């Protein structure tokens, strides 16, 4: 697979698939431009070479064709400030008007195409739609790792229409950093799995059990394990159809000599509400009508101690409902321990989604080794699956 370092873009139009699926408020202002900032080095390299840039992305999940709230025109002003130049906008991503704009693009200019998902053909991976998009560039660059697990028109099908194709810096960094926890992990290696459901993480947990020394389980999924072990979990989240699976994972960890760490205690509440009544309880004895919404202080301490001793740390999923201040302590303590381990020389990968949101909420984004923007793509890559967006660049 070639990277953009393998090309000079002088006199060339680069058609770049970026991930500008950014959150907007009611006034259509960007509330978090992390994904835009991540793409700056790739776009800058092409402009500095003397090339022109055509950007394509999706935004949100439009259901029936164009919807004003999902238009990428809301990003034009912000992009203009970021790149200190006028950013042209095509109010369609294919067709004569859009083609004319990209055809006449000069060195140093940027054109943003309208939302790809205004066409159903994008997510269906339609070949004719991909071919229509391909006319916008001389070289195809994919820098949208977050959508690399989808065989969409703009992420994988389009590549066949280009002799010259490459991954951008975001894609390259995501793959390189994933390899550090997949193939080249220093020991002790601790993986932290959080979030609501075992079923979402089963494949990655099975992969990790063959690699890690410690597997920390927190968040809603931990209560399924405690119920499987015969505990009373009150009205905590539980996947009753996954109790046998939880037992199997406990047994497999034992056989492989992996330290599977479950939270001994929880912060419990009598309602899913930040203002609910709160207590701390042992996880095998949560009273009826109460639910665990965060790991407890004992669990947080035990987890933090293991993390601080580690040389490789992978974190995917929060320890509790960190969006509510009364249930954020466990996630914050884990985040602080990861920062301390990193300061002591560990490699730490924060695995996208809620974990990335948490680490940034606490202001630690620049104090860990790498924060993935990948989410589902990172999980699938770590599960050993082939990502269509990556395979298409080979």
- Residue 129 near residue 152 (C-beta atoms within 8 A): no
- Rounded to whole angstroms, how far apart are CA atoms 33 and 36? 5
Query: Contacts by 85-92 with C-beta closer than 8 Å and gap 24+?
Result: 85/109, 85/110, 87/111, 87/112, 88/112, 89/114, 90/114, 92/118
Which residues are CB-neighbours of 367 under 8 A, at least 6 positions away?
A: 339, 342, 343
Positions marked catalytic: 35, 197, 353, 376
Question: What phi, psi does 330 have (nearest 5°)?
Answer: -60, -45
Matching residue, tokens 């990277």: 3
For residue 23, the SS3 value is coil
Measured torsion, CA atoms of residues 286, 238, 190, 318, in degrees rounded to the nearest 10: -90
The sign of the torsion formed by the CA atoms of 247, 250, 252, 255 equals: negative
Exposure of 29 in the CB half-sphere (CA atoms within 13 A): 2
Which helix (H) or strand (E) covers residue 332, if one does? helix 329-343
Specify the 3-state DSSP secondary structure of 14.
strand
């Amino acid at each position: 697979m070639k990277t953009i370092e393998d090309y000079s873009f002088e006199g060339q139009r680069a058609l770049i698939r970026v991930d500008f699926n950014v959150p907007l408020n009611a006034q259509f202002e960007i509330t978090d431009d992390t994904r835009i900032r991540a793409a700056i080095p790739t776009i800058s390299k092409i402009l500095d070479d003397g090339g022109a840039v055509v950007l394509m992305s999706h935004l949100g999940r439009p259901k029936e064709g164009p919807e004003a709230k999902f238009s990428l025109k809301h990003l034009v002003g912000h992009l203009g400030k970021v790149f200190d130049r006028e950013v042209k906008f095509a109010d369609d991503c294919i067709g004569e008007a859009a083609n004319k704009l990209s055809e006449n693009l000069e060195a140093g200019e940027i054109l943003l195409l309208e939302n790809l998902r205004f066409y159903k053909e994008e997510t269906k991976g339609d070949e004719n739609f991909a071919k229509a998009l391909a006319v916008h560039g001389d070289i195809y660059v994919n820098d949208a790792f977050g959508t690399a697990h989808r065989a969409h028109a703009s992420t994988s099908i389009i590549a066949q229409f280009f002799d010259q194709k490459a991954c951008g810096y975001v894609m390259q960094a995501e793959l390189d950093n994933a390899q550090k926890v997949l193939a080249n992990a220093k020991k002790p290696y601790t993986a932290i799995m959080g979030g609501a459901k075992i079923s979402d993480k089963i494949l990655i947990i099975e992969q990790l059990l063959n690699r890690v020394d410690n597997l920390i389980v927190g968040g809603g999924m931990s209560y399924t394990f405690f119920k499987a072990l015969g505990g009373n979990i009150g009205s905590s989240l539980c996947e009753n159809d996954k109790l046998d699976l939880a037992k199997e994972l406990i047994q497999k960890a034992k056989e492989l000599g992996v330290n599977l760490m479950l939270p001994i205690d929880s912060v419990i509440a009598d309602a899913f509400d930040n203002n609910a009544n709160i207590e701390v309880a042992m996880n095998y004895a949560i009273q009826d009508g109460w639910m665990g919404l965060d790991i407890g202080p004992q669990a947080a301490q035990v987890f933090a101690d293991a993390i601080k001793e580690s040389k490789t740390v992978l974190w995917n999923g929060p320890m509790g409902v960190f969006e509510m201040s009364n249930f954020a302590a466990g996630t914050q303590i884990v985040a602080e321990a990861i920062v301390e381990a990193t300061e002591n020389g560990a490699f730490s990968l924060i695995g996208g989604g809620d974990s990335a949101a948490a680490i940034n909420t606490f202001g630690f984004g620049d104090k860990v080794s790498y924060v993935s923007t990948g989410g589902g793509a990172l999980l699938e890559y770590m599960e050993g699956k082939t990502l269509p967006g990556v395979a298409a660049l080979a």
